[in-house]
Amino acid sequence: MISKGFKDGHFQIGEGSISGTIACMLAILSFLGVLAFHFPEYLTTPELRQSYNVDIIRSLIFVALVVSGSLGLLNFIRNKNKRFGFVAWVFVSLAIAFGGHQVEVEPFANHKVSLGLDWFILDLLGSTLIFIFIEKWLPHKPEQPILRPEWQGDLNHFLVNHLAIGFVLLVTNQFVQSTFSWAISSTVQSFIAGLPFVLQLLLILLVADLMQYAAHRAYHEIPFLWRFHSVHHSAKHLDWLAGSRQHMFELIATRCLVLTPIFILGFSKDIISIYVIIVGVQAVFNHANVQVNFGWLRYLIVSPQFHHWHHASDKAAIDRNYAAHFSFLDYLFGTAVRGQKEWPEQYGVVGDYMPVGMFKQQLYPLGLAKKDTK
């Protein structure tokens, strides 16, 4: 039986659920890190490999194993429910059995496609440490537990999306480059390259958001596309993890559309790298269970409040607030929610027809799954 703290998401100091959860998380991530050392050509992201300092990563794995092992042992000894401690020690033992932090990395081929296990580890660790803290510090709904309903399915979405990153990047890059090479103008690209750094960054965000806005609006207004996008909107509780609930078709299609003008205009690698970071942070932050007052900036920049209204099932919010970065686009095109209360009352698709679970949600738009009415 799952412990009460893990089941309902409410963690109380002294009951062992906090230390146990930390122990399990660090142990599992450490084991995955060891696997990535064994099979870097298949499990790590090619774009990230060159940035790694192997010695630092080894040290982090060692510290994580020590901390998770210690907390797991403490949890196992002091608490009646010993599941946390047991699970932590299983993964610590597996990590050590596979070589721990001392695994040697042999020369390997640089495959174009790989599972983004390293990106999953880094993003999950960073997101949980940063955004769970922010959600508890500045909560919109203080009563919402960390492990709210349907968190398991969204974590599966998070995992699949990250492990598929190599495939998604390959597909989108190949499609865009092979389809739109004819549209490249050296004159235009030279002009873009000559702009000040800040202007280039603002331009790539604006261009990407215009494409995002158009695609997003199409997902809502074209019934066939809505079947796929409704997966994302089916989340009835918003937090940092909810944004990961996305159908693979939408993930690939949207990236192709957004990448096209970026490729044609020829933005530099540095600009694109910063853009990717901003996109990732803003996407997680705007779905998070946080309440931050943007003041007059809310009319320019998408805030959590602005995007929460996009997910609302209130009648006034249906098919509104499409922008991902700049809220002024919705005000400009007349699609911003107007006259709303401070925050919406409910989230999710009207009718609550989406099945629960990542696998069923991937099948639903294809007509291969439906909600269990039992």
User: Could you report the per-residue pLDDT of 323-338, keeping only the tens digit for each?
Assistant: 999 999 999 999 999 7
**How would residue 17 be classed by pLDDT, with cut points 50, 70 and 90?**
low
Instruction: State both tokens at 185.
Output: 């103008």
- The percent of the chain in helix, strand and coil, each rounded to the nearest 5, is 65, 0, 35
Q: In the prediction, which pLDDT does 79 show?
A: 73
Q: What is the rounded distance in angstroms from the CA atom of residue 32 to the CA atom of residue 371? A: 33
Q: 63 Cβ partners below 8 Å, 6+ apart?
A: none
Q: What average pLDDT is seen over the chain?
A: 88
DSSP character string of 224-275: HHHHHHHHHHT-SS-STTGGG---HHHHHHHHHHHHHHHHHHT--HHHHHHH
Dihedrals phi, psi of 272, to nearest 5 degrees: -65, -40
214 class by beta-carbon count within 10 Å (0-12 exposed, 13-18 middle, 19+ buried):
middle
Q: In the prediction, which pLDDT does 84 show?
A: 82
If we measure between CA atoms, which residue out of 124, 359, 77, 335 comes closest to residue 214? 335
If we measure between CA atoms, which residue out of 253, 122, 266, 69 comes closest to residue 180? 266
Region 82-98 average pLDDT: 91
Q: Are 29 and 124 in contact (CB under 8 A)?
A: yes
Q: In the prediction, which pLDDT does 364 show?
A: 96
Instruction: State both tokens at 180.
Output: 């739109």
Q: In the prediction, which pLDDT does 16 show?
A: 52
* Domain locations along the chain: 1-114, 165-366
Greater model confidence, 167 or 188: 188
7 pLDDT higher than 70: no
234 pLDDT higher than 70: yes
Region 186-197 average pLDDT: 96
The residue to which tokens 């209204």 are assigned = 309
Q: What is the rounded distance in angstroms from the CA atom of residue 306 to the CA atom of residue 311? A: 9
**How would residue 374 be classed by pLDDT, with cut points 50, 70 and 90?**
low
Q: What is the rounded distance in angstroms from the CA atom of residue 109 to the CA atom of residue 22? A: 35
pLDDT tens-digit series, residues 128-143: 889 988 999 999 999 9
